[in-house]
Structure 1
């Protein structure tokens, strides 16, 4: 059977049920990629069962009515599903959000989604996921049922692209979706035409361009996306914890950074808060809701409060506005470039330059432990919805442990104290930990012996929520080193995470479950080491340069209580101290000295190779697939193959085969230099027709050897070797670069 006949039979064999099955399965896989993103959203905020039911209904409806509905009717149904979902989403928003819902806000939020705003940051993320899912699922499966596979892939691909743009689709999800879409289009092409690699190439190019464009768009300024080519060095924990403005991921081991970030002039020492996070994802935290421009004095806490004024000076470039809780007024040049989050924190829209100052006025809540014990548990609906959230997948043993620790207490304050004390006494402080898989709080409670502030604060927040106490995860800095009576120097190693619990008539109250003693020891060790090593940017003119940092004195009590009451109150409002914490530049191995420069090495002392991040690797594969498809489409691969086949004859074999291969190389060379052999033109006639161009007699002898090998009595070993040598010489003469390389 000839090659052409075999190819024809092979193409026919790809038609029929086999190709259709491959197309349908691939479309299901593509659909599953973006549904997995939405499923994770409903797992985090609730509604998994409803989501699964809605998606199953969309599949069933498309299957039953796919043959009955026309395309126009199906599009109309899809539009109706999307509009109905939008109305449902708007209807479930809190009243405070509805008041802000203007056409301009809708457009702004849509643009934000397309430039890196995670779906998890939407206030009603669960309803949004349930509302958005039926439309694309119905339309893509409807088109698949009607054997419009390419259109079905287009619908699924555009939906997946949306979640690539929001940053919610991970590298593996994106790669699987691209591969599934490509396979579906290839199977559809084979099903209809029996061939069509060219069509598959076109789709591959388009899908690769879509994914890479999405990855690029998601890194525009202000976006949440990760750059296609990440920074060479490992990020500091300070950057991950304090500078990560909208989303925090729990990481493993860290290293401290002693660099001075800012100074604070204030009559009171406090924790300098930068952000609060309300949505727990199981492996990190998300700040939900949009921001509003700072336009004047903000609302203070509901109860008694003390006014505290702070003047902050940036000693390095910073993109935060740290302040004591709760900030109510901001002065300085940055005030016109500041935003207010829905959690009540200030944040700049630009980077503050070194030496730039601002003044912030805070209303710090005043309370006693008895006031907190008497606080009502009738929380506002918005507080309950936002600050009691836990993922549906949270293990039952976490709730059981919360009940064991604090279930016997009859008020939120004593529950918080019990949980805070339990974590301080039962977990060891360490910067060298392995990043857990799965739920962070569950891992810290049952699988880890030690951790740092992120683990302590995350776990306490989850335990409080399990006991029905509204709580949130907060980041910022501890007071820092006291330079004079009213000035404090705050370094990167002062970055910290703690917990705030909500009390009616008081507002948010700070709890810090991370043991302070070990933190102070680690900070002192790291700062002393930095000073001894002469590191730059770790001191100001006012700070001491001795080996041990100056400890921060305890502030004066804010209420008149007896000794026992004061002790309880200090638990609710932790005494500010020169707490160390956890910012770092890399991940040291277990047992390393905190802050030491560590490099993982083999036994021979050579550094282990550093592999690219998973996202970069996946995007590289997508780009490679697009380049290969483009090369095939434009004929680059074929030309490259022919060029390589001309250069090298390969190993010697049967003399007749060698002669035939030599002639084919010659013909490919002549085709590049002159013209192709015409239909019906014999090899000898072809070579002789080119003789007038200066082709020597050696080329004629190669064609004669070919004819004898194919149609005559064969050729000898010597004749075959001569033909190969002739073609090698002609190739060298026609490729000057290769000729020079071979001479060298």
Structure 2
């Protein structure tokens, strides 16, 4: 069978190559890079809008902006396009500010506070009415970046898109992988744009590949905003962010659920109080799927805060800080603060210090704690204040339907929100084991804990309960703080890092926020006690552990195992207990316990294989490898390495080939030492010109006999190779170049 290669087939091959070159032209590559840059900040915006609602409207806005930019790039001058972009941006911010009831042009304090907060590392998710903000700001950067790229104004396109991406990096709303893609898109837009405009050979492509690889490495290793949401400050000394306390109290506006965690026995504060209570620190209203965000800004303490709407009791507290503390614990609900001017009030009515407290600082708080009866809770109904239900029943659009279905089944026989809350609380206590050693799931935390995990600690319990309540349209929020701690004297408690905790607050009309705690009290108390004993044995510094004596807190049983820090003067709250359940109290904790739930056995002893890299990681790794290869080629390192091996090592084949290669090696050494042999210059003329030594003349004799006389034997080849090896070793050296 024969194959002809005629003019038609040659022409077809040329056309194919031309088509391939067209598709990989610098223009197309520059536009693809600009699209990657747009994609990077659009992903950040998409993930934000996905947390608070359906993203359909957002996708329409993005698509419309791209189409608008493509069409106008053919007919619209750049000056007018910039005006359109500015109008889109100002109009979007104005519509958002109008929804908040503030004048954007007056530069009121809420706007200034929001802008400064965002630029110092706080998530965009903390903004109120975030869906309006996203829809308002999206069109301008998408339109301008793509319009400028279509107009071949690549540097200006990167400035517009890069500034937007940088903004979301500063707020902590862009992950490392997406930031990398954005950086690569920006570099590719400029690099391929220059190739399109000025042309270039493969060396230009090598430089671009090296730059892209360097950007990948720098983006991975350099933190842009230390102390932002992606890398929190360590405020609690040696405990670091591995302690449960640091993971809860380091988080001002945003809290991310962590994996395995530790307990810190260090004393944080002492409190004198006429009532035991949970010392509340912060509440969070916006669930992201992997953590919580508190929307709104904190304000200076106004001098008096409102009372809860229903029945309450008054609790007087005085706190003395034992070690640096960037929190302001107080029993819920604080209404008055004294003995300090360091207090601020969050948007959810919690207290925050304007600057961190240091050892010896003190303050007083008066709280009005809700004290409802069971009858009042059951009769509260679901007539919630305007806006409250929307704010505290928000769930990400990506939450699986099975969470809702499981909550429906658990609360099927509940007639009131109160009964639904107690059913969900009881379900989590009965079916999940307490453990600090857990592997953080990749997906939605509540879904993973409910269906895929056998055990967890307080943040997992509280997150899951709040999420399940929200699927039932019951307002709930995630709360952090400290349990009562160890009673050391009459009306005095010492609170340590290991007392840090997370629980849930549920809203009831005409009553207010009521505490629910789904974390099993017994196992948690055992873990705390074990950590105290370990600290006492190891003599950890700064630990004030007293021997157990008659002052150790052993409170009497309280009828409300959910809100034991809320005695009920008008009647007990006694949810129905399952058969065989026995109520006991724990020292240092005001929650009742049940028999410890044991997680099912897990398979151990098998070979643990590392997780395969993601497609994004593989793509970025290929960019780095390509950059390294281009850098090696650009610097000539590969050629030098090859030449060094070729010069010093000669594999043997047949005598004629062996003599030819030995002669080539010798001439390479002579060219380095003297000069290359000129065209038309015979070997003998070259030897006479450079004055070679006898060994070189012998190799030339071997070469001439093999080349012109055909007299080549094994002995001649062996002699030629041996002589060249000696010359290379003498003149170049075993490790020379």
- TM class by smaller structure: 0.7 to 0.9
The answer to whether the Cα contact below 8 Å between 2:242 and 2:262 also exists between their aligned partners in 1 is no
| 2:240 pairs with 1:240 | no
Q: Deviations over 1:429-479 (max 9, x none)?
A: 333444333222223333334332212211221122222222110011111
In structure 1, runs of 5+ residues without a counterpart are 1-8, 582-588, 593-599, 739-744
**CA deviation profile, 1:370-412 (whole Å, cap 9, x unmatched):** 3334446443334233212111122233223333333554543
Q: For 2:486 and 2:200, locate their aligned partners in 1 and report how far apart those are by CA, in whole Å.
A: 75
**Equivalent of 1:90, from 90, 94, 97?**
97
1:308 pairs, out of 311, 315, 324, with: 315
Deviations 1:179-224 (A, max 9, x none): 444455555555552536437736964895699589856434x532
Change (3 A) 1:200 1:732: closer
Kept after mapping to 2: 8 A contact 1:275/1:345 = yes
Pick one of 631, 638, 655 that aligns with 2:636.
Answer: 638
- 1:536 corresponds to: 540
Q: Secondary structure at the match of 2:271?
A: strand
Aligned to 2:79: 72
User: 1:585 matched to which residue of 2?
Assistant: none
Aligned to 2:475: 470
Q: Is the 8 A contact 1:477 1:495 kept in 2?
A: yes
Describe the shift of the 1:439–1:199 C-alpha distance in structure 2 as closer, same or farther (beyond 3 A): same
| CA distance in structure 1 between the aligned counterparts of 2:397 and 2:670, rounded to whole angstroms | 69
Q: Tell me how far apart the structure 1 counterparts of residues 490 and 239 of structure 2 sit (CA, whole Å).
A: 41
Q: Aligned to 1:312, what secondary structure does the other structure show?
A: strand
**Pair 1:17 & 2:23 matched:** yes
* Separation in 2, partners of 1:150, 1:705: 63
1:276 is the counterpart of 2:276: no
> In 2, are the aligned partners of 1:432 and 1:590 still within 8 Å (CA)?
no
Q: Is the CA contact (8 Å cut-off) linking 1:478 and 1:576 kept in structure 2?
A: no
Task: Name the SS of the counterpart of 1:435 in structure 2.
Answer: coil
Residues 1:426 and 1:657: Cα distance change in structure 2 (over 3 Å) = same
> More deviation in 522-531 or 358-367?
522-531
Match of 2:272 in 1: 265
Find the aligned partners of 2:281 and 2:518 in 1 and give their Cα distance: 19
SS at structure 1 position matched to 2:90: helix
TM-score (norm 1): 0.76
Cα distance in 2 for residues equivalent to 1:601 and 1:699: 67
Cα drift, residue 481 of structure 1: 1.2
Q: Do 1:208 and 1:622's aligned partners in 2 also have CA atoms closer than 8 Å?
A: no
The CA distance in 2 between the partners of 1:49 and 1:204, in whole Å, is 39
Count of residue pairs brought into register by the alignment: 686
CA distance in 2, matches of 1:226, 1:194: 42
Distance apart, 1:285 and its partner CA: 0.9
RMSD: 5.1
Of 505, 508, 524 in structure 1, the residue corresponding to residue 513 of structure 2 is 508
Q: Distance in 2 between matches of 1:13 and 1:167?
A: 42
Pick aligned residue for 2:588 from 578, 586, 589? 578
| 2:361 paired residue number | 357
1:435 equivalent to 2:447? Answer no
Cα distance in 2 between the residues matched to 1:548 and 1:684: 105
Report the Cα offset of residue 270 of structure 1: 0.7
Q: Choose from 520, 528, 531 the match for 1:526.
A: 531
Measure, in 1, the Cα distance between the counterparts of 2:400 and 2:688: 82
Q: Distance in 1 between matches of 2:424 and 2:476?
A: 12
User: Could you say what secondary structure the match of 1:288 adopts?
Assistant: coil
Evaluate the alpha carbon distance shift between residue 478 and residue 557 of structure 1 in structure 2; reply closer, same or farther with a 3 A threshold.
closer
> Per the alignment, do residues 569 and 356 of structure 1 end up closer, same or farther by CA in structure 2, a change over 3 Å counting?
farther
Q: CA deviation at 1:126?
A: 2.0
| Cα offsets for 1:564-594 (capped at 9, x unmatched) | x343599xxx99962499xxxxxxx9989xx
Deviation for aligned residue 1:50? 0.4
SS in 2 for 1:381: coil
From 232, 246, 256, the equivalent of 1:249 is: 256
> How much has 1:14 moved relative to structure 2?
7.0
Identify which range, 180-189 or 709-718, moves more after superposition.
Answer: 709-718
Contact 1:481 1:549 in 2 (8 A): yes
How far apart, in 2, do the equivalents of 1:242 and 1:233 lie? 11
1:529-583 CA deviation, whole Å, 9 max, x = no partner? Answer: 443x334147526x22589975455679744334xx343599xxx99962499xx
Q: Which residue of 2 aligns with 1:651?
A: 649
Matches within 5 A, 1:221-620: 223-226=228-231, 235-294=242-301, 296-331=303-338, 335-336=341-342, 338-353=343-358, 355-369=359-373, 370-375=375-380, 377-406=382-411, 408-531=413-536, 533-537=537-541, 539-540=543-544, 543-544=546-547, 551-553=554-556, 558-562=567-571, 565-567=572-574, 578-579=588-589
Paired residue secondary structure (1:317):
coil
1:195 maps to: 201
| Bigger mean CA deviation after superposition, 481-490 or 500-509 | 500-509
> Considering only CA atoms, is the larger Rg found in Structure 1 or Structure 2?
2
Which digits, 9 at most, give the CA deviation of each residue in 1:122-166, with x for residues without a partner?
Answer: 223222222222222223333444455565455444433332222
Report the TM-score when normalising by structure 2.
0.77
Question: Mean Cα displacement is larger for which, 499-508 or 509-518?
Answer: 499-508
SS of equivalent residue, structure 2 residue 479: strand
Q: Give runs of aligned pairs for residues 7-46 of structure 1, distance below 5 A.
A: 15-19=21-25, 20-46=27-53
**What secondary structure does 2:24 align onto?**
helix
Three-state SS of the structure 1 residue aligned to 2:352 is strand
Change (3 A) 1:677 1:35: farther
Q: Of the two structures, which has the highest relative contact order with CA contacts closer than 8 Å and spacing of 6 or more? A: 1
CA gap of 1:22–1:368, structure 2 versus 1, over 3 A, is: same
User: Aligned-pair distance for 1:277?
Assistant: 0.7
